[in-house]
Amino acid sequence: MKVLIIGASGLVGSNLYQVFGQNNKDGINLGTHLSYSTNYSVYFDPLKEVPIEISKEKWDVIIHTGALTNVDQCETEQDLSYQLTVASTQMLLLLAKNNNSKFVYLSTDYVFDGENGPYAETDKVEPLNVYGKHKLESEEIVSTYPDHLILRITNVYGDEIRNKNFIARILDAVKQKDFVEIKAPVDQLATPVNAADVAKAIYLLVQDNKTGIYHLASTDYLSRVQLLQRINAYHANKVKIIPVKTASLNQAALRPLRGGLIAAKFASEYPDFIFSNVDDYLKKQ
């Protein structure tokens, strides 16, 4: 199969690139980047000309992981958020139509209001902030295309080149310093998931030609404070945690508080698939 991974320089995209590379050996796996070039990806801005490396192939699957993922920046730079999240999706969907590709879209639990999480696929969507609204708008556009697959995820961690996810940043800090002090919200709950598991689950869904929406999550349901406590358990209590309420952080964007996702639908179709948890990851670091 010929698979185009948009955003292969990112956390989820780089893990997808690795998993498809390992499993789709007879096919073609091409990754793209936008601002951060890697030695395995080609530059591609979906709002500009399609490069020859992409236009010369007929893609069976296009996986779109790109978006403006800085939630507060989405709130303060709404036009940029629209371009990077919604407009890019529209353009990539055109590419999918021209190639007759399956279109796979990565979305978020921020499509929910966080009153009542964790959420199932059938729960009512009601985003609180621009990031969530633009991700939902993209989902809606993607849903009009018959061969689509939407994966909602949240609090993703794992191995990535830039180590920019929350857990990776803290691990880098505790390895370099005697102690680090971190203010963390005690009242935001979510279901952290390892990007490698997300990539493996997507590979299975694509291989089985599944369509529709799936939530991907482990059984962890943790606040940022609890996440830091887990890190402390493996790193000699080097993190001095200052628990705060989300409201006191005065962030530009509202956060869903009781967020997170329930992956029961995926589990019922893939009973042998085990999502690892944060402890499994921390033990190996």
Do 125 and 109 contact (CB within 8 A), yes or no? Answer: no
Residue sitting closest to ligand NAP (CB): 10
In the bound state with ligand NAP, the residue whose beta carbon lies nearer, of 128 and 178, is 128
Q: Return d(Cα 226, Cα 188) in angstroms, integer.
A: 10
Q: Which of 208, 228, 213 is nearest to 273 (CA)?
A: 208
Q: Which residues bind ligand NAP (CB under 6 A)?
A: 6-7, 9-13, 33-36, 46, 65-67, 69, 84, 88, 106, 108, 135, 153-156
Q: Which of 217, 196, 218 is nearest to 22 (CA)?
A: 196
Nearest CB to ligand NAP, comparing residues 24 and 44? 44
Q: Report in angstroms how near the CB of residue 109 gets to ligand NAP at its nearest.
A: 7
Q: How far is the CB of 258 from ligand NAP (least distance, A)?
A: 16
Q: Which C-beta is closer to ligand NAP: that of 1 or that of 34?
A: 34
Query: What is the closest distance, in whole angstroms, from the C-beta atom of residue 259 to ligand NAP in the complex?
Result: 10
In the complex with ligand NAP, the residue whose CB is nearer, 235 or 259, is 259
Amino acid, res. 33: H
Q: Mapping DSSP to helix (H, G, I), strand (E, B) and coil, where does residue 102 land?
A: strand
Contact of 129 with 246, CB cutoff 8 Å: no
- Minimum distance between the CB of residue 251 and ligand NAP, rounded to whole angstroms? 16
Question: Which residues, listed in sequence order, are joined to residue 2 by a DSSP beta bridge?
Answer: 28
